[in-house]
A and B are shown apart, each in its own frame.
Chain A
Amino acid sequence: MTDLIRMERVSKAYGRIQALKDVDFTVQENEIVGLLGDNGAGKSTLIKVLSGAVPSTSGDIYVRGQKVSIRSTTDAIANGIETIYQDSALVTQLSIARNLFLGREPVKGPRFLNRLDHAAMDAVTRDLLKRVGISKNIPPSTPVGSLSGGERQAVAIARAMYFESDLIILDEPTNNLGVAETQGVLRFVRNARKSGHSCIFIAHNIHHVFQVVDRIVVMRGGRVVADDINPKQSSVEDVERIITGMSDEELERALGANEH
């Protein structure tokens, strides 16, 4: 089977600092991958390279077996890769419908009138919000600024789903969210997979990752140190050990020191 995304020997240097060292990373079709690592492990840089925010120093990226060049976020979106940052890259002053279609607005009537097709935008928005799992009846004309953090993530995920992004990258989507909101976002992610999308899920909270992913990849010191952890067959402690690179005794000592 062809991988949806394959990154081969990708490296990135910021001056003398080597943020990524010969990283190989894959995502399959319809798969949710949890990307974990301590601060400075390289996961943010890896995502930035994949989403076109920064160029890699060397290495190749393949989408469904085809080599692609991703030099900007527009390139990434054109290749079906959508990144949802913590602040969702939404315009808070605009309505949900206007945000969903920003840059690809449907128009109707004579072309020179450039007139937005509000009815079509509203209908699609209502349907998408339902598909992504928002149970509340939120009108499409609601400004994004008045939505909660979880609802904003839902709008961003809905947008990625509608524009047929094959891969949705979620960078710390559950940060600063309450318990119920977090569960909502995890549900949105599961619904995205049900609709045939793949996801990369990055979160500091390992428990959130365990609830939703099919496979866990761990990075440390700019390298991938484990890329096939099955969350159903591993424990949170196992993964913590791999993230920190400590032995059982070292980890126990460190945890004990924290408790005292």
Chain B
Amino acid sequence: MRAAPACLSSCHFGLLVEQRSLIQRFVAKPEFGPLVLLVAEIVVFWSINPDFLSALNISNTLSFTVELGLIALAMTLLMTAGEFDLSVGSVFGFAPVLMWTLFNSGITSLEVAFVIALVVAALIGLANGLFVTRIKISSFLVTLGMLLVVRGVALFISDGFPQRTWSAGQHWLAQALVGDFYVGPFRIYMSLFWFIGVALVLGYVLTQTKAGNWIQATGGNPGAARARGVNVNRTKVALFMLSATMASFAGVISSIRTSAANPNSGAGYELEVIAMVVIGGTALMGGRGTIIGTVLGVFILRVMRNGIVLIGVPGLAYNIFIGAIILGMMTLHSILERRHHAGT
């Protein structure tokens, strides 16, 4: 009977230690900083303007957020493999222009035009990948060149005018991509489910599969990966194709939602997407990536864009906040990384 209190206290102590180590591990995760920042953002915006958490505002923010988010998810894998793609913004603009030009001119059905837009984007990614891996040009230069080529083609085939997309109307493809419905007061777009689905699949690929191990090794130490039989070049090419295809998919979704396929749309998205990925904790130079972090990074930037307008800060000041967030998060990630290597 007398032993019981002693056991209780030692068990309690053991539990405390275990809990503390769990908390320590959670804090050391690269996703911890972004999570804190996102929560802080939401609390600050909501406390200044309660409308920030209104059903209408949440629905609007979500609809646009997931389109950029789809590109950021694919970019996470590419950046984990040590490369990045500046042409995603152009592909985002080009793919819907191609699809709607084909459909509006009566050449093909909407479904075939959609598939063609995805395949052409994959070929753009293939070209990026081959330039980077075979001719050994840095991905910065290759995709910068591709950015201009693709944007130029989009402007050329459309004469610089937006393509009409309103004829999509009730087409099943349009419904499947951006159809919307109400859950209580919330207007939910189908694109949200695409985003969740892609995030789950790519998160699984990166953390649970052999392919994910190869992606991380490709970015971390390509020489070592190659020596172990990992096909580094094929891994990179596949990820360039994924990134371009996802940009094309996001562009098509956006064009249907906004009822316009504008050859200029997506300009500057590449940098915003890269910012989302690195804020989330993926290493710019490769080797380490996190899909959960990217999801948080996507929301951090979109919530910031939406929130500063709602609380009355001029929209033109948006970039000041984004720049500050990037610098702050990079500092945090760097400190955590150093502590991690020091074993503390």
A residues with a Cβ closer than 8 A to B are 73-74, 77, 89-94, 98, 101-105, 107, 113-116, 143, 145-146
Contacts and interface: CB of A to CB of B under 8 A. Distances in A.
B211 interface: yes
A145 B341 contact: yes
Interface in B207-240: 208-214, 216-217, 219-221, 223-230
Contacts of B230: 102-103
A115 to B, nearest CB: 6
Contacts, number: 74
B227 A94 contact: no
A92 B209 contact: no
Given A105-B213, A116-B209, A91 B340 contact: no
B225 A91 contact: yes
A90 B228 CA distance: 10
Contacts of B209: 107, 113-116
Contacts of A73: 226-227
Contact of A115 (B208, B214, B221, B227): B208
Tell me what chain B mostly uses at the interface: helix, strand, loop, or mixed.
Answer: helix
B340 A102 contact: no
B323 interface: no
Contacts of A105: 210, 213
B343 interface: yes
A90 B288 contact: no
Contact of A91 (B205, B210, B216): B216
Contacts of A102: 213-214, 217, 224-225, 228, 230
B82 to A, nearest CB: 11
A74 B223 CA distance: 12
A115 B208 CA distance: 6
Nearest to B230: A103
Top 3 closest pairs, chain A to chain B, by CB:
A103-B228, A93-B287, A91-B220
Contacts of B220: 91-94
Contacts of A93: 216, 219-220, 283, 287-288
Nearest to B218: A91
B208 A116 contact: yes
Contact of B217 (A94, A104, A143): A94
B208 A89 contact: no
Given A103-B230, A104-B229, A146-B341, A91 B208 contact: no
